[in-house]
């Protein structure tokens, strides 16, 4: 083998250091709330390295996790923090219990006792290098020839195989030594975000053929547009991401309690053997801790301590996604014509699919889907001409509770995703954005809800108006408009310019609440800034106008004659601008 597995023969005792128990060892980084948390630190804002036990028990004393890559955060919350709390304490039964827990701001003494008892009872299941039940791994996982691969296979930003980041300073030939803490974080990240490349066939996997497994999907989070509400403390973030009113099934268990070594995997749901299956999730605990790969870390002991340089990564369970269970993504409701077209081509045509984030597209541009929280069904139904949207479960629950939270509560929403390329076998881009979201925007009947959606629609319409202007001027010059999917159009430049203005509006509307006049003043200020930004971009388009644009050009299309010239293009642009920014247009008419 290419690595030396730590064993009882190498060490006189097998203590907790060798096992690296995740409850005790400091492997997570978190930012404390105040200087009192780190009196000896030179920098009061420096993150602390803590074990899982302390992080959970003192969740109210930490602001947030600190991670190596944004995609690690949802992986850590889903694979560990959220299921641990829910399995130990249960989900809040209803809105009243959820509100009481949220307002408490910290776990009660009784809840702390239950958490401590749970952690003590399951302590043996959290050993990263345990020889019998290694955490989130399969003990003794091996190939027929005892082949292993470099630990870079776990690291999304490291060069390995066909997955080579553009500016990577490493090559696949450079060994990557991961500390136990790093290996644990990337292990959970791989379960959530791994690529769909061919996986190594392992002994005991009845579906492996010729030493490999094909048809692997990307990790479950890689199929989503992950949306997580973030609070002021880690405790609040936990509560914001735990839907209330969920009655768990008896077999809805976190992965560390599904470790049966005997029996058929279809019956035991075990993730501790090389065998795997395709199935829907049993509930929140199951889907949060989904084991999409069968893995084994191979630690080596050297002069600098224990490191992981070799791993085995094989196929794992394949998830049938369902909006009834998955809580952290919005959904697209396919219009009937699109489903019919896919069915005609022989492609699967589900009624709903996860709404994935688009790299380069600001999060606020998707507020229409994020806030599709109709109090009855959290949906914007599809029509014959457009898709519909269904908000995520966690945002839907917050919508139901928005009047129980302070109007000025500084709610943040983080959006995370990965764009894959080459048959989803490589990572092309990592998406991360964070927006301030007024709590009152979660109320579909509220003033802020309508104000935000109007502002987003206005921004998109302004971008379209600038693109129309560019297209009209290009036609007048005898060329075609810039294709929507090639090159950068001026509307893209405008949306980039408007980004800080929209975010300022989002933060400012937190104070509006149900005050219509305050909301209107915010929208008036937004329109003023948006108009200024739009004209700056439009002037760049006008400045590139050639002299022939003044006389223009006549084009016959579909039997109709169209005249494209500078003055008609400008007149049409001003008309579109007034139609979009109607408050500014009305103010000019009355002045």
Give the count of beta carbons closer than 10 Å to the beta carbon of residue 109. 8
Predicted pLDDT at 95? 92
pLDDT of 375 above 90: no
Measure the CA–CA gap between 398 and 386, rounded to whole angstroms: 26
Mean pLDDT over residues 319-345, rounded? 80
pLDDT of 282 above 80: yes
Burial of 9 (0-12, 13-18, 19+ CB in 10 A): exposed
Least confident of 31-35, 204-208, 226-230, 341-345: 341-345
pLDDT tens string 254-266? 999 999 999 999 9
Mean pLDDT over residues 270-299, rounded? 96
Identify the structural domains of the chain with CATH numbers, from first to last. 16-320 (no CATH), 446-591 (1.10.132.100)
Least confident of 81-85, 500-504, 566-570: 566-570
pLDDT of 350 above 80: no
Predicted pLDDT at 2? 36
Predicted pLDDT at 551? 62
pLDDT tens string 97-134? 999 999 999 999 999 999 999 999 999 999 999 999 99
Predicted pLDDT at 334? 80
Measure the CA–CA gap between 186 and 170, rounded to whole angstroms: 17
Closest CA to 450 of 371, 362, 521: 371
Q: What is the pTM of this model?
A: 0.89
pLDDT of 1 above 60: no
Predicted pLDDT at 297? 97
Q: SS3 of 32, please? A: strand
Hey, CA dihedral for 163, 169, 175, 181, is it positive or negative?
negative
Least confident of 51-60, 117-126, 389-398, 409-418: 389-398
SS3 sequence of 170-212: CCCCCCCCECHHHHHHHHHHHHHHCCCCCEECCCCCCCCECCE
Predicted pLDDT at 566? 77
Give the count of beta carbons closer than 10 Å to the beta carbon of residue 96. 11
CA distances from 333 to 26, 224, 377, 390, 399 (A): 43, 14, 13, 7, 20
Predicted pLDDT at 30? 97
Pick 207 or 546 by higher pLDDT.
207
pLDDT of 416 above 80: yes
Mean pLDDT score across all residues of the chain: 86
- Band (pLDDT 50/70/90 cuts) for residue 173 is low
Mean pLDDT over residues 198-207, rounded? 94
Predicted pLDDT at 10? 34
Pick 233 or 43 by higher pLDDT.
233
- Band (pLDDT 50/70/90 cuts) for residue 555 is low
Mean pLDDT over residues 148-157, rounded? 92
Measure the CA–CA gap between 518 and 201, rounded to whole angstroms: 62
Predicted pLDDT at 130? 95
pLDDT tens string 385-399? 677 888 899 999 999
Mean pLDDT over residues 11-38, rounded? 73
Predicted pLDDT at 166? 47
**Which DSSP symbol is given to 357?**
P
pLDDT of 164 above 70: no
């Amino acid at each position: 083998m290419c690595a030396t597995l730590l064993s009882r023969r190498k060490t006189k005792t097998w203590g907790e250091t060798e096992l690296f128990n995740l409850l005790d060892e400091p492997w997570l980084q978190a930012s404390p709330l105040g200087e009192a948390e780190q009196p000896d630190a030179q920098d009061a804002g420096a993150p602390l390295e803590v074990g899982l036990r302390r992080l959970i028990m003192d969740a109210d004393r930490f602001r947030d996790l600190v991670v190596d890559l944004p995609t690690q955060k949802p992986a850590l919350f889903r694979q560990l923090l959220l299921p641990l709390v829910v399995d130990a304490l249960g989900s809040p039964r209803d809105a009243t219990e959820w509100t009481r827990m949220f307002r408490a701001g910290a776990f009660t003494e009784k809840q702390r006792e239950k958490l401590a008892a749970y952690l003590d009872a399951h302590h043996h299941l959290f050993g990263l290098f345990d020889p019998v039940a290694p955490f989130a791994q399969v003990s003794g996982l091996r190939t027929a020839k005892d082949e292993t691969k470099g630990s870079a296979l776990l690291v999304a930003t490291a060069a390995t195989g066909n997955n080579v980041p553009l500016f990577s300073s490493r090559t696949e030939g450079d060994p990557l030594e991961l500390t136990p803490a790093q290996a644990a974080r990337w292990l959970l990240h791989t379960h959530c975000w791994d690529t769909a490349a061919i996986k190594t066939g392992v002994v005991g996997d009845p579906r492996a053929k010729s030493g490999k497994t094909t048809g692997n999907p990307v990790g479950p989070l890689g199929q989503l547009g992950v949306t997580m509400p973030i609070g002021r403390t880690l405790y609040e973030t936990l509560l914001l991401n735990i839907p209330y009113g969920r009655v768990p099934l008896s077999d809805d268990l976190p992965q560390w309690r599904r470790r049966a070594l005997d029996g058929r995997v279809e019956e035991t749901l075990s993730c501790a053997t090389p065998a795997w299956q395709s199935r829907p999730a049993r509930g929140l605990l199951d889907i949060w801790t989904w084991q999409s790969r069968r893995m084994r870390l191979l630690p080596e002991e050297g002069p600098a301590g224990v490191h992981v340089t070799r791993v085995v990564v094989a196929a794992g369970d394949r998830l049938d996604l369902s909006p009834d269970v998955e809580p952290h993504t919005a959904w697209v409701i396919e219009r009937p014509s699109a489903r019919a077209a896919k069915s005609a081509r022989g492609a699967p045509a589900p009624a709903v699919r996860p709404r994935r984030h688009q790299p380069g597209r600001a999060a606020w541009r998707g507020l229409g889907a994020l806030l599709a929280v109709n109090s009855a069904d959290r949906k914007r139904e599809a029509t014959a001409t457009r898709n519909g949207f269904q908000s995520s479960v966690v945002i839907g629950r917050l919508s139901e509770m928005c009047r129980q939270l302070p109007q000025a509560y500084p709610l943040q929403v983080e959006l995370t995703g990965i764009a894959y390329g080459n048959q989803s076998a490589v990572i092309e881009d990592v998406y991360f954005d964070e927006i301030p979201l007024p709590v009152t925007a979660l109320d579909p009947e509220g003033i802020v809800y309508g104000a935000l959606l109007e502002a987003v629609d206005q921004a998109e319409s302004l971008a379209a108006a600038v693109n129309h202007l560019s297209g009209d001027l290009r036609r007048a010059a005898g060329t075609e408009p810039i294709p929507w999917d090639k090159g950068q159009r001026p509307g893209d430049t405008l949306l980039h310019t408007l980004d800080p203005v929209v975010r300022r509006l989002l933060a400012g509307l937190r104070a509006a609440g149900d005050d219509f006049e305050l909301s209107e003043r915010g929208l008036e200020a937004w329109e003023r800034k948006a108009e200024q930004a739009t004209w700056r971009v439009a002037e760049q388009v006008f400045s590139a106008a050639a002299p022939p644009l003044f006389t223009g050009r006549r084009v016959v299309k579909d039997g109709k004659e169209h005249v494209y010239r500078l003055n008609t293009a400008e007149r049409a642009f001003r008309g579109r601008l007034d139609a979009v920014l109607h408050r500014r247009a009305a103010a000019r008419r009355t002045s």
